[in-house]
Amino acid sequence: MISGRGSNMASLIAACEGKDYPADIVGVISNRQDALGLSVAAQAGIPTLVVDHSDFERREDFDAELTRRLEAFEADLVCLAGFMRLLTDGFVSQWHDKLINIHPSLLPAFKGLDPHTRALAMGIKITGCSVHFVRVELDSGPIIAQAAVPVFTGDTEETLSARVLAVEHKLYPHALALVASGRARAVGERVVIDDDDPVDTQLFSPPTKTNTV
């Protein structure tokens, strides 16, 4: 589910086209008609639809419509990729351990909006991104995968978000593969991963400066 440019969605679509990738994208839902990602998905031959939140008076009704549409797609998992609506407790419970999100910080740091601006204001030296199962509290839930990204002197919100975004595009397909293949699963509030392998751990090292945007 998306609300905007959909670059993370595009990275998932590209990964799912891989021969041995353990997931397929069955559909893309946007709450905004003008989301740029909709045309990217359509060009990839993926069914898209808009469920406009402003057509619903109550959040519960909007979320119930989302569930109806997701069930019509026969979705087993729901990936939030820049989906900018708060979801109700009912929706989150209904999709418990089937709803995953990417957030551009090393959670639990910098939950919510403008994580890069706040990270820069605090002068932290390493940030990153996290993919997690969604729980009721905003940007919280068992963490599936994280990657670290260095903050450089002179970074702006623009340069830092671009550097993190490039890593998000690797991390989200990696995390979805872990969940879709059954290698990663939530056990209570932690994620257990079977057979962590060395290839996975490359994502955990900060990329060198030459690798970054």
Which residues participate in catalysis according to the annotation?
103
Q: Report the residue closest to ligand GRF, judged by CB.
A: 82
The distance of closest approach from Cβ of residue 194 to ligand GRF in the complex, given in angstroms and rounded to an integer, is 26
Q: What does the binding site for ligand GRF look like in residue numbers (CB under 6 A)?
A: 2, 4-9, 81-82, 102-104, 165, 168
The distance of closest approach from Cβ of residue 1 to ligand GRF in the complex, given in angstroms and rounded to an integer, is 11
d(CA 68, CA 93): 15
The distance of closest approach from Cβ of residue 32 to ligand GRF in the complex, given in angstroms and rounded to an integer, is 11
Residues 6+ apart with CB under 8 A from 196: none
The distance of closest approach from Cβ of residue 198 to ligand GRF in the complex, given in angstroms and rounded to an integer, is 26
* Cα 176–Cα 144–Cα 85 angle in degrees, nearest 5: 75
Q: Which is nearer to ligand GRF, 2 or 186 (CB)?
A: 2
Q: Which is nearer to ligand GRF, 64 or 212 (CB)?
A: 212
- Cβ burial 152-184 (10 Å sphere, 16+ → b, else e): eeebeeebbbebbbbbbbbbbbbbbbbbbeebb
Tokens at 36, concatenated: 């740029």
Q: Which is nearer to ligand GRF, 142 or 169 (CB)?
A: 169
Taking the CA atoms of residue 111, residue 145, residue 92 and residue 34 in that order, the dihedral angle to the nearest 10 degrees is: 70
User: Is residue 31 within 8 Å of residue 51, measured between CB atoms?
Assistant: yes
Q: Which is nearer to ligand GRF, 3 or 88 (CB)?
A: 3
